[in-house]
């Protein structure tokens, strides 16, 4: 099973996960280098969001009050956009 985690890489090559891992870190991996976060995020110590932040948002009253669309209207809109885009 593939698992993706966010890590920081130190100048000496050390790898440090940004969140606690529920499993031992071992095995093989592919590495994708991401651009450095914007200066305003690094100045505040924020990393741009974590899984804990996402879960907190999903449990928040703000999320519970979000506007919700009718599923059939969404499907109709998706179908219309596909027909506009797909060459005939």
The pLDDT, as a whole number, for residue 16 is: 86
Q: Record the pTM.
A: 0.36
Q: Which residues in the chain come in under a pLDDT of 70?
A: 1, 37-48, 86-88
Quick one: tokens of 5? 């985690």
The pLDDT, as a whole number, for residue 59 is: 92
The pLDDT, as a whole number, for residue 31 is: 78
């Amino acid at each position: 099973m593939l698992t993706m985690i966010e890590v920081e890489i130190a100048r000496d090559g050390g790898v440090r996960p940004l969140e606690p891992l529920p499993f031992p870190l071992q095995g093989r991996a592919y590495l994708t280098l991401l651009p450095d976060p914007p200066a305003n995020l690094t100045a505040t110590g924020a990393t741009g969001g974590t899984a804990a932040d996402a879960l907190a948002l999903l449990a928040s009253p703000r999320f519970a009050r979000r506007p919700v669309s009718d599923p059939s209207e969404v499907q109709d809109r998706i179908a219309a956009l596909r027909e506009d885009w797909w060459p005939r």
